[in-house]
Amino acid sequence: MAEAAMKISQEVAVQITGMNKWYGTFHVLRDIDLTVQRGERIVVCGPSGSGKSTLIRCINRLEEHQAGRIVVDGTELTNDLKNIDKVRSEVGMVFQHFNLFPHLTILENCTLAPIWVRKVPKKEAEETAMHFLEKVKIPEQAHKYPGQLSGGQQQRVAIARSLCMKPRIMLFDEPTSALDPEMIKEVLDTMIALAQEGMTMLCVTHEMGFAQAVANRVIFMDKGQIVEQNEPREFFNNPQSERTKLFLSQILGH
């Protein structure tokens, strides 16, 4: 019995059960149940204000949930700061506005957390950082400051910065929404490459092309609830709920 339980916990990356969240009296997330298997690529979409960002921000406790359980990699998120820091060091996050540290060089951005959180020696951290910067195809920018890079480059650095912590799960919060059209592709290509390596990913995005290319599940949210989830082809070609149909007609219609 114990063995079986262990086996499951090894396969489940994130387990959310009966989770509710309020901002003041506003009920933002309602009875969320979600299980993410290791290696799954999930795209979360929905109209603005539907709670999709809030949902993935709960997974690394940037937002606190008030009811229900969130278990990440076998660690339950409670008020215990040790657990929170543990989860955060295992879960990478990429933000809409990149949130690079403007006072540090690209290389320092990438080595900071490994050095201070993981206690990796500086030299080793720099080697890892260069490895991931090469992976996102901007090693030559390592000694520049974020302000000298374009939006797309900054977002790729942000991805590399998260990867330097060798996370087991990656969260993407609208990673391409603040980018010029010319730069969206370079970021999506990076994300696709990451997905192909088997990273567990949860992406809030409106890039339906990306969803069709790499996701193995699409979740549609509205008014703080999961309205519909399905594998991408079914989701796009054969949406079940009226709300989903309306949403899809609006974002794919033109």
Which residues would be at the binding site for other proteins (CB under 8 A)? 60-62, 81, 85-86, 88-89, 91-93, 95, 97, 99-103, 112-113, 116-117, 145, 147-148, 161-162, 165
For other proteins, give the closer residue by CB, 119 or 254.
119
For other proteins, give the closer residue by CB, 62 or 248.
62
CB 176 within 8 A of CB 187: yes
Least Å from the CB of residue 106 to other proteins: 11
The pairing of strands 217-222 and 41-45 is parallel
Least Å from the CB of residue 99 to other proteins: 4
**Helices first, then strands: H and E counts in the chain:** 10, 10
For other proteins, give the closer residue by CB, 23 or 101.
101
Least Å from the CB of residue 215 to other proteins: 22
CA angle, residues 230, 52, 21, in degrees to nearest 5: 115
CA angle, residues 38, 40, 42, in degrees to nearest 5: 135
Least Å from the CB of residue 41 to other proteins: 20
Q: CA-to-CA distance for 13 and 42, rounded, in angstroms?
A: 12
**In the chain, what's the furthest Cα-to-Cα distance?**
56
For other proteins, give the closer residue by CB, 23 or 245.
23
